């Protein structure tokens, strides 16, 4: 990452003064477009889930709150961090994390004492944006993960307007997120029936639709052996066409071929192996 510009300020012609450049001093995030994003994250705010180290953050919401409290510097830093995260989510460039440990300033109390960092360490393992909600700014950054490159119909955000609301009751099937993600990775952005690439969404992810070959309503299993990634056209055909029955047989064959290819060509992670089995 090119940091030569950090010495480019009135009293900072020497490299050792670079840290005091007001343009960069105390910033929370840095970016070199197309190459890397660097985030400063608090160690105490990180959590462990299923063996993965991650942090859930929303600098956009935090910045708006600080702006209302009159803390314009915090608002600017948080806004810049959100823009860096958006760029990483959109372009899939790697994220490097500087892990900070010390006394965190209270986000709920804008008048609390400033943060003080006692230790900083550049993590040798890259991180990735594994979830980013464009409408709210909610974000999950995960250590050692691959950027989330694929999405399906269950990830689409609801309409932000105000449609008519009606009371309703009933039961719905809860689909496994792990199964959906495993199938989308297996498809690598192409319909597993016709091999046509899915379209690219505004956030850079490739859209396909996940489909249970044997429907859950017919006691079909919610496993990668029964789920296929389809283009929207073939997904509708699988549900509504007059050749649904023979098409189901073809889809089952495609799923078997796809899972065999994955197990043959790559080392399948134990979690996905369990799903296949």
Q: Which of 88 and 201 is assigned the larger pLDDT?
A: 88
Give the rounded percent of residues in the chain with a pLDDT score beyond 90: 39
Q: How confident is the model at residue 234 (pLDDT cuts 50, 70, 90)?
A: very high
Mean pLDDT check: name the lowest of 7-16, 77-86, 185-194: 7-16
Q: Which of 273, 259, 270, 271 is nearest to 229 (CA)?
A: 259
In this prediction, residue 170 carries a pLDDT of 62
C-beta of residue 20 within 8 angstroms of C-beta of residue 38: no
- Tokens for 37? 């994003």
* Cβ-count burial 150-167 (b if 16+ within 10 Å, e if not): bbbeebeeeeeeeeeeee
Q: How confident is the model at residue 160 (pLDDT cuts 50, 70, 90)?
A: very low
Could you give the CA distance from residue 239 to residue 272 in angstroms, rounded to a whole number? 27
- pLDDT beyond 80 at 112: no
- pLDDT beyond 90 at 194: yes
Q: Who contacts 173 (Cβ-Cβ below 8 Å, separation ≥6)?
A: 216, 217, 222
> Across all residues in the chain, what is the average pLDDT?
83
The Cβ of residue 30 has, within 10 Å, a number of other Cβ atoms equal to 19
Could you give the CA distance from residue 142 to residue 49 in angstroms, rounded to a whole number? 10
Residue with tokens 């609390």: 112
Phi–psi pair at 205, nearest 5 degrees: -80, 155
- What's the count of helices (H) and strands (E) in the chain, helices before strands? 6, 13
Mean pLDDT check: name the lowest of 12-16, 67-71, 205-209, 251-255: 12-16
**252 class by beta-carbon count within 10 Å (0-12 exposed, 13-18 middle, 19+ buried):** middle
In this prediction, residue 219 carries a pLDDT of 87
In this prediction, residue 46 carries a pLDDT of 94
Q: pLDDT by residue (tens digit) across 4-14?
A: 888 887 765 67
């Amino acid at each position: 990452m090119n940091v030569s510009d950090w010495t480019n300020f009135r009293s900072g012609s020497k490299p050792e003064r670079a840290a005091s450049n007001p343009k960069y001093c105390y910033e929370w995030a840095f970016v070199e477009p197309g190459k890397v994003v660097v985030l400063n994250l608090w160690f105490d705010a990180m959590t462990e889930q299923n063996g993965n180290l991650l942090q859930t953050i929303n600098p956009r919401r935090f910045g708006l709150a600080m702006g209302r409290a009159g803390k314009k510097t915090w608002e600017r830093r948080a806004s810049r961090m959100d823009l860096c995260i958006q760029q990483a989510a959109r372009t899939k460039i790697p994220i490097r994390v500087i892990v900070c440990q010390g006394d965190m300033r209270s986000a709920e109390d804008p008048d609390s004492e400033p943060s003080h960092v006692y230790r900083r360490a550049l993590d040798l393992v890259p991180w990735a944006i594994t979830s980013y909600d464009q409408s709210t700014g909610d974000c999950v950054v995960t250590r050692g993960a691959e950027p989330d490159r694929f999405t399906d119909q269950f990830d689409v955000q609801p309409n932000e307007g105000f449609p008519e609301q009606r009371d309703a009751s009933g039961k719905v099937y809860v689909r496994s997120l792990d199964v959906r993600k495993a199938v989308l990775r297996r498809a690598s952005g192409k319909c597993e029936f016709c091999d046509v690439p899915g379209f690219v969404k505004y956030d850079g992810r490739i859209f396909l639709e996940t489909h249970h070959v044997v429907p859950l309503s017919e006691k079909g299993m919610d496993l990668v052996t029964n789920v296929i990634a389809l283009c929207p056209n073939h997904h509708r055909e699988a549900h509504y066409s007059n050749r649904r029955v023979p098409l189901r047989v073809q889809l089952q064959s495609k799923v078997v071929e796809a899972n065999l290819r994955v197990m043959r060509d790559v080392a399948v992670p134990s979690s996905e192996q369990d799903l296949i089995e």
